[in-house]
Structure 1
Amino acid sequence: MPRTGRNTWLPDQHGAWAMLAVPFLAGTLSAPRPRWAQAALFAAWLLGYAAVFHGQQWLRLHRIARRRPDAAARHVRPALVLGAACAALGLPLAAAHPRLLPAAAAAAPFVAVNTWYAWRGRERAPANGLAAVVPACGMLLVAAGLGGMPAASAWRPALACLLYFAGTVPYVKTMIRERNSRAYRRGSVAYHAAALAVAAFLSPWLAIPFAAYLARAAALPGRALKPPVVGAIEIACSAALLATLVPVFSA
C-alpha cells in the first residue's frame, strides 16, 4: 500500500534511524553533565537528516523522472518545512555553543558525497553507506562534548560505533542484495573479525557484542531471512552496543 499524508515525511530508510540515534545517545548518556542542549541538538539532528533525505530524493527524482514531475515535487514541502525546523533549533544552539560550527563543517563533505550518490541514483553503493556512517558516529563526540566529556575520552566509544555501523554496510549486502556473493561474505566476515580485535583493544567488554556481530556475519547469510527479520536483528545489535557503551565509557 502506498504511503500517504504525513507518513511520507518520515524517511523510509529504517536502518538509518539506529545509526542516527545510538552514537548520539551513547555520547549523551556517557557524559558527566547531560544538558537540555543535547536534547535540542538531537531533535535538530533528526530533523536535519529528514530534510536532507527529502532534498536528495527531490534531486534524484528530478533527474530521472522528468515525465513525472509530481514524483519529485512531493519532496519539496517536507524538505523546506523540516529544514526550517532544523534551522530554528540549530541556529540558536550554534550561537550558544560555537563548537557546533566546526562539527557541522566537518560533516558537510560527507553529506555532499551522499548527495552526489543520490543524484546519480547510486544510493546503495557501499561508499555511500560508509560516507553516511562517519558523521553519524562523529555525533557521539559532539553530544559528549556538550555534556562535558573531553574528546580524549569520547574517541573510544565513537570508534566502537564506527566499527559496528561500518560493518553493517557489507553485512546487510550479504543478507539482501549480495546474498549470493561469496566475495561479499568473505569480506564481511574478515571485516568483523578485524573489528572484534580492535573493539577488544578499546575495552574487553566490547568483545562480547562484537563477537556476536562476527557470529551473525558468519552464520546468517544464506539463510534467506526476510528484510524485516534482518532489520529486527540489527535493532537488537544496535541496542546491545548502546547498552555496552554507556556503562563502560561513562565519565
Structure 2
Amino acid sequence: MKLFMPKQHGAWAMLIVPFWLGVVASGFVWEHVPFFLGWIFLYLATYPMLLLFKKKKIAFHVKWIVIYLVPALLLLLFPLFERPSVVYFGLMMLPFFAINAYFSSKNKDRHIINDFSAIFAFSFAGLASAYLPAGAVSGEAMLVFIVSVLFFIGSTFFVKSMIREKKNSNFKLISWGYHAAVTVFWIIMSQWLIAVAFLPSLARAIGFYGRKMSPIQIGVAEIVNSVLFFIFIAVHLI
C-alpha cells in the first residue's frame, strides 16, 4: 500500500527542529521518543484532515486519517501519562489548525497567513517537548519557540521570493529586510551565537535571489540551512 504523504516537504524541518531544540533546552527523557513519533503521526493525520475541507474524496481521506491518527494517539499516551498537562499545548494549536482549515476550504493553501499559522503551530511543539521533563516553561523553552517562529517565517519569505514571488521586487525587499532585521536584533541583544544562527538565512536570502534554482535545489538549501540553525541554537542552549 502506497502511503498518502504530505506534499509540503519543507514542513518536515518545522516538524523536527523546534521539537528537538525543546529537548536540548530541557534535557532528554525516554518519553520524548514516543512523543516525537506520535507528533509525526499526528502531523501525517492533519494532512488528510485539512483535505477534507475541500470536500473531495472524503472516504479516502477519512481512511488515512484513521490510519495515521490511531498510532498517533497511542504513542502520545506515553507523554500524557507522564505529564497530563502537556495536552494544553495541543489545545493551543487548535486555533491555528482552524486557520489552516479555512484556507484549505478556500483552496488558498499557499497563502502567507496560512504559512505563518502553521509555523506557530509547529513551534508550539518545541514548548511541549521542553515542558515534558519538569512540567514548566523555562526561559530557554520560550527562546526555542521565538527563534523557531522567526527562523521559519524567514524560510517562508525566502521560498516565496524564489518561486511564487520571484518577479516581485517589493517582496524581495521585504524578505531581505526581514532577514537583516532579525539578525541585527539578536546582535543588539548581545546574543551573538543566535545572531550567527540567522546569518546563513540572511546570506542565502540575498545570495540566491534571482538564481535559477529548481524546487529540489531550494529544498536542499533549506535543509542545510535548517541543520546549521539547529546546531548553532543547540550550542547556545547547551
RMSD of Structure 2 on Structure 1 (CA): 1.7
- Return the match for 2:26 from 19, 27, 31: 31
Q: Which runs of 4+ in 1 moved over 6 A?
A: none
Shift of 1:199: 3.2
Confirm or deny that 1:135 pairs with 2:109. no
- Return the match for 1:89 from 72, 75, 99: 75
- Return the match for 1:14 from 4, 9, 18: 9
Whole-Å Cα distance in 1 between the matches of residues 190 and 143 of structure 2?
A: 6
* Structure 1 residue identity aligned to 2:122: A
CA contact (8 A) 2:176 2:202 kept: yes
* Structure 1 residue identity aligned to 2:37: A
CA contact (8 A) 2:86 2:131 kept: no
- Return the match for 1:108 from 87, 90, 94: 94
Whole-Å Cα distance in 1 between the matches of residues 219 and 179 of structure 2?
A: 18
CA contact (8 A) 1:160 1:199 kept: no
What are the equivalent positions in structure 2 for 1:60-79 lying under 5 Å apart?
Answer: 60-62=54-56, 69=57, 72-79=58-65
Length-normalised TM-score, structure 2: 0.92
Whole-Å Cα distance in 1 between the matches of residues 33 and 90 of structure 2?
A: 17
Shift of 1:202: 6.7
CA contact (8 A) 2:197 2:233 kept: no
Whole-Å Cα distance in 1 between the matches of residues 172 and 59 of structure 2?
A: 39
User: Corresponding residue for 2:104?
Assistant: 118
Confirm or deny that 1:195 pairs with 2:182. yes
- Return the match for 1:46 from 40, 64, 69: 40
CA contact (8 A) 1:55 1:79 kept: yes
- Ranges in structure 1 where 5+ consecutive residues have no aligned partner: 63-68
Confirm or deny that 1:56 pairs with 2:50. yes
User: Corresponding residue for 2:161?
Assistant: 174
Structure 1's 151 and 113: CA in aligned 2 closer, same or farther, altered over 3 A? same
- Return the match for 1:157 from 132, 141, 144: 144
User: Corresponding residue for 1:65?
Assistant: none
User: Corresponding residue for 2:218?
Assistant: 230
Whole-Å Cα distance in 2 between the matches of residues 96 and 202 of structure 1?
A: 37
CA contact (8 A) 1:140 1:154 kept: yes
* Identity score, percent: 26
* Structure 2 residue identity aligned to 1:240: L
CA contact (8 A) 2:158 2:175 kept: yes
Structure 1's 126 and 115: CA in aligned 2 closer, same or farther, altered over 3 A? same
* Structure 2 residue identity aligned to 1:136: F
Length-normalised TM-score, structure 1: 0.88
Structure 1's 111 and 80: CA in aligned 2 closer, same or farther, altered over 3 A? same
CA contact (8 A) 1:54 1:78 kept: yes
